[in-house]
A = this chain, B = another copy of it.
Amino acid sequence: MSRGAITYTLGMGRWKPGAGDRLREAALSLYLERGFEQATVADIAERAGVTARTFFRYFADKREVLFDDSSALQEKSLAALEGLPTTTSALDAVAAVLETVAQTVGGDRELARKRQAVIMANADLRERELIKLTSLSTALADRLRQRGTGDIEASLAAETSIVVFRVAFSRWVTATDDQVLQDIMRETLDRLRALAASG
C-alpha cells in the first residue's frame, strides 16, 4: 500500500516525498558499506535527508527497515490458501503457499543477495528475520485450522513450510547457476517428504 506508485504527482508538501523509500535505500546501502552496527540511525536519516526522529516514525526500530515488506508477503501467502479446494491436504496447501512465496520473492536475485548478505552478517538481523517467518507460520497454521486441519497437523505443516522456505532460499541465493527459486522450493519439499517417509 504505502509502497506502490507515488500517489501525488506535483507540488507535494514541504519536503521531498517518498521518505520511507529513501530511508529503506539509505539503510540498505549503509548496512552494506559499514555493517549494521556501524551504521547509526542518524547516518541513515542524514543520507535520506531527514531526521533520526523521522526514521522512527516510519520504522519501529533500526532492524525493521529491512523487513517491513514482510506483511505484504504474509498477505499474499494467506491469499494463496483461499482458492484451494477444501479437499487439499495440509502439505499440498503448504506447497501452494510456497509457490506463491517463491513467485513474490524470487524475482530479483541480486537484491536478495544483498539483503541476505547484510542479514547474515548480523545476529540481531537474523533474529528479526526468524521471528518474521515464525509470525508467518503462525498465521498460516491458523488458516489451516480454519480449513479443518487438525491442531497439531496445522502447526507442523506451517512450520514445515518455513523450513522448506529457509533451506530453499538459502540454496537459491548461494547458487551459481540461474536455477529459479520455484524449482528449488519444489525439489526441497520433495526431499523433505522423502526424508520423512524413509526415516
Interface residues of A (CB under 8 A from B): 89-92, 94-95, 123, 126-128, 130-131, 134, 152-153, 155-157, 159-160, 163-164, 166-167, 170-171, 188, 191-193, 195-199
Contact = CB atoms under 8 A, between A and B. Distances in A.
B130 A188 contact: no
Main secondary structure of the interface of A (DSSP, over half): helix
Contact of A196 (B91, B130, B188): B91
Given A91-B198, A193-B199, A199-B89, A152 B131 contact: no
Given A159-B167, A163-B160, A166-B159, A89 B188 contact: no
How many copies of this protein are present in the complex? 2
Given A156-B188, A156-B195, A193-B196, 8 more contacts: A89-B198, A91-B195, A127-B127, A127-B128, A127-B130, A156-B192, A195-B196, A197-B197
Contact of A134 (B92, B126, B155, B197): B126
A42 B152 CA distance: 41
A179 to B, nearest CB: 13
Nearest to A128: B127
Nearest to A150: B191
A138 B126 CA distance: 13
A105 B160 CA distance: 23
A191 to B, nearest CB: 6
Nearest to A184: B152
Contacts of A128: 127
Given A131-B123, A196-B193, A152 B91 contact: no
A67 to B, nearest CB: 12
